[in-house]
Structure 1
Amino acid sequence: MDMRPELTDPLEERRALQDTESKIALAGHPLHAMLVAFPIALSFSTLGADLLYAWTGAAFWAEAAGYAVFGAFSIGVLAGLTGTAELLLVRGIRSRSASWTHFILAVMLLSLLGANWILRIGDPEGAVLPVGLALSLVAAGMTALTGWHGGKLVFDYQIGTKSDGIDRP
């Protein structure tokens, strides 16, 4: 007869980690996940427009970058508000250190996008080289890093998803 004690999964013992369903959702779809697509695309669009301005010198691209970074920042703030609400309202999200890493990176990214937008107000062409382009490059890198961490939360931990009886890690 085996006298070893039965081992238990530490995650199973922490029931709070199982509560990860989105509280800020529209018809079961998390708003944060829907909103982040726009700032991600617009952040990379800002970099692309800056690079095209540096290459062609056409004022159109400097103005396009200004509008793109404004959109990335403003919709990013909306996405950030919904993400922060999720972080604070859902115990299973709040309990994971990876959620806080994503949150801190997202706040840093919003700061970069805001600075990049403010820099361009009034003189979009003069703001591109070199500072605007450098900020766009760093923001694109931060967007990739922040998005990777956000994706990790969704795909590895099923954060913000319905469980419907499916086991979670």
Structure 2
Amino acid sequence: MKHYADPIPHGTTTSVHFFGHPAHAMLVPFPIAFLVSVFASDLAWWYFSDPFWARMSLWLAGGGALSGIAAGLVGTAELLVVRDIRRRAAAWSHFVVAVMLLSVGMANWGLRLGDAEAAIVPMGMYLSGLGVLLVGVAGWLGGTLVFEHRVGVLNEDEED
């Protein structure tokens, strides 16, 4: 079953890399971990009522937003520079969902800057839950690009 356009059999080599390793793939684990952890620390605050968890959510939201911007800039450069990536519907879908995720992450962080505890219920929980959902969708689309379309892989003939 093919979800998008036919895969490119040889793969699409990344153009934004460090010593042959794709930069976008190296950066995305940070915002994923931070933004998912915001929801977990919000739940911990809700359960324990300890201000530590509200401060943790504030720092995780900020770390997720800022590291997400870094990963997003690299991903956007990749999308705009590499023609074979631009022609994939999954790439554009991934881009749109990632921009939505960054918007939610920035709003979540901004909401918490004034009073981290007061921001959690209900809006902070809603935004962090939405962030987890968007992380899942963006990750699924990113996985589609890597595993189905072989985007950002090292071609066998280029390994030498």
- Say yes or no: TM over 0.5: yes
Partners of 2:84 and 2:109 in 1: CA distance: 35
Partner of 1:93: 85
1:54-85 deviation line (CA, Å, top 9, x unaligned) = 11110000000000010000000000000000
Residue 103 of structure 2 is aligned to residue 108 of structure 1: no
Where does structure 1 differ by over 6 angstroms across 4 or more consecutive aligned residues? Answer: none
Identity of aligned residues (%): 43
Partners of 2:89 and 2:59 in 1: CA distance: 34
Is contact 1:47–1:133 with CA below 8 Å preserved after alignment? yes
Structure 2 gap ranges (5+): none
AA of the residue aligned to 1:40: I
Structure 1 gap ranges (5+): 1-9
**Offset of residue 116 of structure 1:** 0.2
Correspondence 1:1-150 to 2 at 5 A: 20-150=12-142
- C-alpha RMSD over aligned residues: 1.9
Partners of 2:115 and 2:85 in 1: CA distance: 42
**Offset of residue 152 of structure 1:** 1.1
Whose radius of gyration is greater, 1 or 2?
1
Is contact 1:72–1:113 with CA below 8 Å preserved after alignment? yes
Structure with larger RCO (C-alpha < 8 A, sep 6+): 2
| TM-score (normalizing by structure 1) | 0.86
| TM-score (normalizing by structure 2) | 0.91
